[in-house]
Chains A and B, each alone.
Chain A
Amino acid sequence: MKPQSMTHKILARATGKKSVSPGEIVTAKVDMCFAHDPVVKYLRQYFYEEFGKDARVWDASRIALFQDHLVPAKDSASRSLAIAMGNFAEEQKIPHYYPYGKDYGICHIMMCEKGHVLPGEVVLGTDSHSVTYGAFNAFGTGVGFEDMLNVFKTGELWFRVPEIIEVRIEGELRPGVVAKDIILKVIGELGMGGASYKTLEFTGSTIEAMSAEERMTMCNMSVEAGAKNGIMAMSDAAEKYLADATDKPHPYDPVTTDSNFEYIRSLLLRAENIEPMVAYPHTPDNVHSISKAKSESIRINQVYIGSCTGAKMNDIVMVHDIIKGKKLADGLQLIVVPATSSIYRQMISDGISSDLLDAGAVIESPGCKACYGAHGGVLGDGENCLSTTNRNFRGRMGNPKSFVYLSSPFIAAQSALSGYITD
């Protein structure tokens, strides 16, 4: 048998085949999936319209529902999305339903925190950043509305088997350089379409030594290079995270890439050579080194710490370490939006919240918020934001006449103190 990559092994397993080849179309069984508030109202409507008023989902225990994009409701239409989701959860007896309230947050971080992502499995979401789950050795990918409608009914979906690009990172990162810098650098090298329809498989000693949350940051942004999925072999840190995420995970079976597997391309980066990176407006592949950004004295009006990329506990700790006991630059606003309620709680119990508030930050309730520009941090015309999010397309944060720069939490925090992009 031809050597297989870990992605191919997962797809083969889910298809009931011994092996699969790039380019082939397969129908894979889905282990876990989710949908979020922008789509569930319509999924519910079409589900009953298309499959009958008594239709049942294929397996309620393999579906999760999240309210993250439009909570708290900004208007009555947003509220109607949440209400419809509640109804669907009730009608279909969906146990993993996470409404705005005691225990909720951004879908991707919730999926990992709650142990819904397990190695070797196929995990889908109605959101492009479902590629995050490769951090736990799953085949995670984003799908559209119609796909999920059919997955809800049949539990399977067609896929084109991807070619695999290896991104190998070796060595030790310099102080102040983190996963976000590596992935920005990779996106800069590959370009936004550089991995289109393909897999980014991250390998090398830097990845092996990385924390679970930093692994999530890497995989999360692989879609910014167009990738179908990002994936990594399991590591001790990832195992530990999974063990904490759920007290009784069902047994799982991680996959590895065969040693003689042939990647269609390999990109090798030395960790020591990577500088902090900044993506300039209006594309995430428009990346420049911090030295260049510093030399241009780019003034910023807002720093945004949020999203499924940059508001995990470790991201907020990074910000806290820098901001603690200091004051923000005059006139600058710092908005911190923890990804989930459990992170929010930990910020309070660890005293992080009060330190951030003392420095002048505003802490908002968990959710997607300004990351995609619906609400909670929209900029004025001509204003600049430095953000720990993943996309800076024109208008992404709500105003097409504003400018969004992307960086690590570390650079974002330093810049919040100086008022200019700096390290």
Chain B
Amino acid sequence: MNKINIIEGKAFYCGDLVNTDVMSPGRFEPYESNELLASIALIDYESEIPFVDPATKRSPFTIIFAGHEFGCGSSRDSAPSALAYAGAKIVIARSFARIFYRNCINMGVLLPVTYDHSFDESVIGKNVEVNVLDRTFTVDGEIYSYSDFGPIKDIVEAGGLTPFNKLSTGM
């Protein structure tokens, strides 16, 4: 993800405490393919507009605005993977649950940005541009900036824990 500087696309919105069970329910285990995971992303999350379009089995949304404790619950890496395979590239949440956050950072599939935004359902479908290099995002012409990843920014920039470890230890 370090190589992508601009992420552009439509926004989705999730409320507080959206857990990994609704992102990739255990009843679909074993998740046999990335296509299957993409098609079930957020399938048990109740919303008027589904995250995944049932016709294409992909998500029209690239950026997810979320509330508090996004990704609480289990440690399953299938949760961030499902969102990513469906088409999401970045989640901007008021706060994250820790294993989900670790999974995002260490797998490098989905960029987890912590930002105390005030968006709600009305943001769904709006165009958002994120400048990963400058750490800003733009909605309705307004620019918001978020802080960097602090002591773990090297892992984010390496694209995940495995590439980071390979770079730093030469393994």
> Which residues from chain A sit less than 8 Å from chain B, CB to CB?
24-25, 38-39, 46, 50-51, 69-70, 75, 77-78, 80-81, 126-128, 142-147, 149-150, 153-154, 158, 192-193, 196-197, 226, 228, 283, 372-374, 378, 391, 393-396, 398-400
- Contact of B21 with A395 in the complex, beta carbons under 8 Å: yes
Tell me how many residues of B have a C-beta within 8 Å of chain A.
Answer: 41
- Contact of B22 with A145 in the complex, beta carbons under 8 Å: no
Given known A-B contacts A147-B161, A153-B171, A196-B69, A142 and B75 have beta carbons under 8 A apart: yes
- Contact of A146 with B74 in the complex, beta carbons under 8 Å: no
Measured between C-beta atoms, what is the minimum distance from A273 to chain B in Å? 27
* Among A50, A149, A192, A197, contact of B98 (Cβ-Cβ < 8 Å): A197
| B59-94 contact mask (Cβ, 8 Å, vs A): 1 or 0 | 000000000110011111100000000000000000
The complex places the Cα of A154 from the Cα of B32 at a distance, in Å, of 29
- Contact of B169 with A154 in the complex, beta carbons under 8 Å: yes
Given known A-B contacts A150-B162, A154-B169, A127 and B30 have beta carbons under 8 A apart: no
The complex places the Cα of A398 from the Cα of B29 at a distance, in Å, of 11
State whether the Cβ of B99 lies closer than 8 Å to any Cβ in chain A: yes
- Contact of B171 with A154 in the complex, beta carbons under 8 Å: yes
Cβ-closest 3 pairs across A and B: A144-B103, A145-B77, A146-B106
Q: Please report which residues of chain B, range 108-122, place their CB below 8 angstroms from some CB of chain A when the two chains form the complex.
A: 108
Given known A-B contacts A143-B99, A145-B107, A154-B171, A373 and B26 have beta carbons under 8 A apart: yes
* Among B29, B95, B162, B169, contact of A38 (Cβ-Cβ < 8 Å): B29
Measured between C-beta atoms, what is the minimum distance from B39 to chain A in Å? 16
- Contact of B102 with A372 in the complex, beta carbons under 8 Å: no
State whether the Cβ of B141 lies closer than 8 Å to any Cβ in chain A: no
Measured between C-beta atoms, what is the minimum distance from A422 to chain B in Å? 28
Measured between C-beta atoms, what is the minimum distance from B42 to chain A in Å? 11
Measured between C-beta atoms, what is the minimum distance from A287 to chain B in Å? 15
Tell me the nearest residue of chain B to A146, going by C-beta. Answer: B106
State whether the Cβ of B165 lies closer than 8 Å to any Cβ in chain A: yes
- Contact of A372 with B26 in the complex, beta carbons under 8 Å: yes
- Contact of A226 with B98 in the complex, beta carbons under 8 Å: yes
Q: Which residues in B have their C-beta under 8 angstroms from that of A400?
A: 22, 25, 44
- Contact of A149 with B21 in the complex, beta carbons under 8 Å: no
Given known A-B contacts A146-B107, A394-B46, A226 and B97 have beta carbons under 8 A apart: yes
Given known A-B contacts A143-B75, A144-B102, A378 and B30 have beta carbons under 8 A apart: no
- Contact of B69 with A226 in the complex, beta carbons under 8 Å: yes
* Among A75, A142, A150, A226, contact of B161 (Cβ-Cβ < 8 Å): A150
The complex places the Cα of A395 from the Cα of B74 at a distance, in Å, of 13
Q: Which residues in B have their C-beta under 8 angstroms from that of A391?
A: 19, 21, 73-74
Measured between C-beta atoms, what is the minimum distance from B156 to chain A in Å? 12
